[in-house]
Structure 1
Amino acid sequence: MSSLLSPQHIRQWFYPGPMRVFTTEEMAKAGTQPWPVAVDSYVAVNLLVLLPAMVWTQHGRGWLTQALWWGMLCALSVSTLFVARSLWKRPTRARLNLYCYGATLVVLALIALLIREGHKDWLVRENVSIVVALVGVLSAWWMLTVFRVQQIEARLRELADQEAALRLQTRLAAAQIQPHFLFNTLASLQHWVDTGDARAAQLLRDFTAYLRATLPMFERELQSLDDEIEMVRRYLAIMQARLGSRLVFRIDVPGGLDVELPPGIVLTLVENAIAHGIEPQLRGGRLDIAARQEDGRFVLTVSDDGPGLTPGWTEGVGLSNTRRRLAAAFPHATLTLADAHPGCIATLTA
């Protein structure tokens, strides 16, 4: 009982409506659903259907009664739709109450005018119908506003869940950046240090720079292409230190391209090319990374001269995660793998 008598509940009787207020950014993000035009058609059809029924029920009560009722019904329908569209665009409690109290005042003014013009008897006969119509319209506005607020809130929650899933996928992808690569690099570094190999110092510098570049991936949703390529350079420097002359690579990516990608996307493609195209061959191989703008779209290719795609090959976890993260960030982006004869080429278009 105390909750029913709380100031918040009591206020709803005099100032009803949802408490939630959306910012301009939230409306732009989740409130862009178009007005359902089927509602307009539904109202128009009902007006046509009600016309003969109303003429029949009002027969014998005078042309004024029939005209007033039909005119009020049409005006009520048009104004109700106008207000409903406004509430759909901006479903706020203040706007709802402005329209509700405004409509009530208009009806009271019309009643006063009709009484002044000598139609008090007609008003006495039709008072129940007038009250029912007014309450019905106000209730429809209230329900529309509540529904619209709940719709936008649901869309905001859905978008928030999608963003959270994308962040989680980014962190999982970053955590899956080939742990064996890290262990193998540390093992090589330890061996070179133990044997006094001069390559240890440079490998340690490249490995430190690589970790410095990759650790922020856990916190970013997108990163610039320049940062991504720098991370790839550090990775390739480490792999070249380990593989020596077995790895030859070329990076043809113009600096300053205004492109952002989910972190680790290019790195995953490069790792995949080395793991399946370079390392399995005793002679090693060549890796080429290129990027360009083509017809207003960004195109990046990662190719190797290895054995190519094996018959019946399937995507691994890393490539599947890459495809999902890319689709979540850029719905129209594509990622394809094809035989390059020799080797394999991965093409990313965004």
Structure 2
Amino acid sequence: MRSPWRAQLRTAWRDFWRLKKHRQEPWWMGLLLNASVGALVGLSFVLLAALFSGNLLDTSFWRPSLVLSMQLGTVIALLSHAGLRLLEHLLSEERLQAINEGTGRASLLVFVGLPTLCSALGLVLIDTLLRWQRLGVPVAPRIPNVGTLITFLFCGALFSLLSFWRLRAQLKAQRTREQVTEAQLRLLQAQIEPHFLFNTLANVEGLIDYEPRQARQMLNAFTDYLRASLQQMRAQDVSLGQELDLVQSYLTVMQCRMGERLRTRTEVPEALLAARIPPLLLQPLIENALHHGLEPKVQGGLLQLRARPEGAGLVLEIVDDGVGLRHSHAHPRRGNGVALRNIRERLTAAYGPKAQLLLEEAAGGGTCVQLRLPALQPLRHPAPGPFVTT
């Protein structure tokens, strides 16, 4: 498993020039990253000047100005960092997003004007500190000579424009990825819907001849499910509470078929009900647990659905005390691998490699399916006392 600080560092680098109200990385990591980038920029300017003048191999030419240039780059980067973080504190989330995605005056002022101004301020600050150190007494700031000031303003503007271009390209690539992911999710989701619909209709058809009353109850429950899920089926994500409502409607359909052979229990902390997950994520797994675990067992059994927070993420568990994985592998049923593969593909499309679907033998027999999802919003730590439905 990769270290959390590495993931935070990658996030900090990705959002280096992006305005965000809430950041995942700690505050000191942003300072360290900005200071490092500023020092590298200062180093680059010295080496480029030596290269263009033909003195790159002559260390006596560029070594005396190396430390000063790196210090100046660090100060300018930290001043820019402080200015951007101040804007994040003062402006609303909507305004910050508009500045990130815009190309107008406000975006140019923030991402080009602010760093350019900080270049001049950094030059004045370094000059003041060096004169203070050399004279041993506090000195008043002074305006640098025109040539030096113009040079730093030009370099600051050039670097800021390059960073601004990088942010534009980054946001454009992100929007493209989101569009591709959404299309992929909808395609994968569309593969699940007929799977459930056809199975349920086949069950109703099988009951019509010898159990018409039970068939009618199942059809009514199925209609309720369709009515409740019609809007959610095409959504990109739903709350965990909404998904549980759909699951309960599905279990009502299956209760009509299995009767007392099916017992269910749900344990989900109330504070997790607002967490966002892809729609129709749990129903195919519950369908697998019933068809491959509990239905082959003469006496039926218990199906449990549990949820708990894990760090910044969420763990969902579907546990049955049915025949277990060995029996399922020895007598495979049609559609089992398709549903699991489909969900894994949906998780990868929605979250990347961080999300997992794990299948293992349950402690007391049967099967345990685990969904491990990364940080979700909104996700709050649960208050004491779970929300339990039996």
TM-score (norm 2): 0.56
Q: Could you say which residue in structure 1 is the equivalent of 2:325?
A: 308
Q: Could you say which residue in structure 2 is the equivalent of 1:335?
A: 357
1:232-261 deviations in Å (ceiling 9; x for gaps): 12112223334456x513122246242422
1:192-248 deviations in Å (ceiling 9; x for gaps): 668892224322321112112333334433322222122112112223334456x51
Q: 1:156 to 1:315 in 2, by over 3 A?
A: farther
Q: Could you say which residue in structure 1 is the equivalent of 2:367?
A: 344
1:132-162 deviations in Å (ceiling 9; x for gaps): x555433322221122112222332343344
Q: 1:86 to 1:275 in 2, by over 3 A?
A: farther
Q: Could you say which residue in structure 1 is the equivalent of 2:248?
A: 233
- How do residues 213-228 of structure 1 correspond to structure 2 at under 5 angstroms? 213-228=228-243
What is the alpha-carbon distance in structure 1 between the residues aligned to residue 167 and residue 357 of structure 2? 33
What is the alpha-carbon distance in structure 2 between the residues aligned to residue 165 and residue 284 of structure 1? 46
* Equivalent residues of 1:291, 1:298 under 8 A apart: no
The SS at the match of 1:263 is coil
Alignment partner of 1:273 is 2:289: yes
What is the alpha-carbon distance in structure 2 between the residues aligned to residue 165 and residue 249 of structure 1? 40
Residue 35 of structure 1 aligns with an amino acid whose one-letter code is N
Q: 1:151 to 1:318 in 2, by over 3 A?
A: farther
What is the alpha-carbon distance in structure 2 between the residues aligned to residue 36 and residue 318 of structure 1? 49
Q: Could you say which residue in structure 2 is the equivalent of 1:123?
A: none
Q: 1:315 to 1:139 in 2, by over 3 A?
A: farther
* Equivalent residues of 1:232, 1:267 under 8 A apart: yes
* Equivalent residues of 2:360, 2:368 under 8 A apart: yes
* Equivalent residues of 1:87, 1:145 under 8 A apart: no
What is the alpha-carbon distance in structure 2 between the residues aligned to residue 102 and residue 289 of structure 1? 61
Larger Rg over CA atoms: 1
* Equivalent residues of 1:292, 1:300 under 8 A apart: yes
* Equivalent residues of 1:166, 1:221 under 8 A apart: no
Q: Could you say which residue in structure 2 is the equivalent of 1:10?
A: none
* Equivalent residues of 1:334, 1:348 under 8 A apart: yes
Q: Could you say which residue in structure 2 is the equivalent of 1:205?
A: 220
- How do residues 95-244 of structure 1 correspond to structure 2 at under 5 angstroms? 96-97=112-113, 99=116, 103=120, 131=147, 136-177=151-192, 179-189=194-204, 197-244=212-259
Q: 1:173 to 1:233 in 2, by over 3 A?
A: farther
What is the alpha-carbon distance in structure 1 between the residues aligned to residue 272 and residue 229 of structure 2? 20
Residue 53 of structure 1, aligned match among 51, 61, 69: 61
Q: Could you say which residue in structure 1 is the equivalent of 2:343?
A: 322
Q: Percent identity?
A: 27
Q: 1:335 to 1:78 in 2, by over 3 A?
A: same
Residue 292 of structure 2 aligns with an amino acid whose one-letter code is H
CA-based RMSD of the aligned residues comes to 4.7
1:86-143 deviations in Å (ceiling 9; x for gaps): 4577595336457469959x99xxxxxxxxxxxxxxxxxxxxx974x55543332222
Aligned residues between the structures: 288
* Equivalent residues of 1:173, 1:264 under 8 A apart: no
What is the alpha-carbon distance in structure 1 between the residues aligned to residue 69 and residue 314 of structure 2? 54
The SS at the match of 1:198 is helix
Alignment partner of 1:293 is 2:308: yes
What is the alpha-carbon distance in structure 2 between the residues aligned to residue 54 and residue 276 of structure 1? 73
* Equivalent residues of 2:39, 2:73 under 8 A apart: no
Q: 1:161 to 1:306 in 2, by over 3 A?
A: farther
The SS at the match of 2:236 is coil
Residue 343 of structure 1 aligns with an amino acid whose one-letter code is G
Q: 1:25 to 1:269 in 2, by over 3 A?
A: same
What is the alpha-carbon distance in structure 1 between the residues aligned to residue 113 and residue 315 of structure 2? 53
Structure 1 portions without partners, runs of 5+: 1-21, 56-69, 108-128
What is the alpha-carbon distance in structure 2 between the residues aligned to residue 255 and residue 101 of structure 1? 49
Q: How far is 1:174 from its partner?
A: 3.1
What is the alpha-carbon distance in structure 1 between the residues aligned to residue 371 and residue 211 of structure 2? 42
* Equivalent residues of 2:188, 2:342 under 8 A apart: yes
What is the alpha-carbon distance in structure 2 between the residues aligned to residue 273 and residue 54 of structure 1? 70
What is the alpha-carbon distance in structure 2 between the residues aligned to residue 188 and residue 226 of structure 1? 27
Q: Could you say which residue in structure 2 is the equivalent of 1:124?
A: none
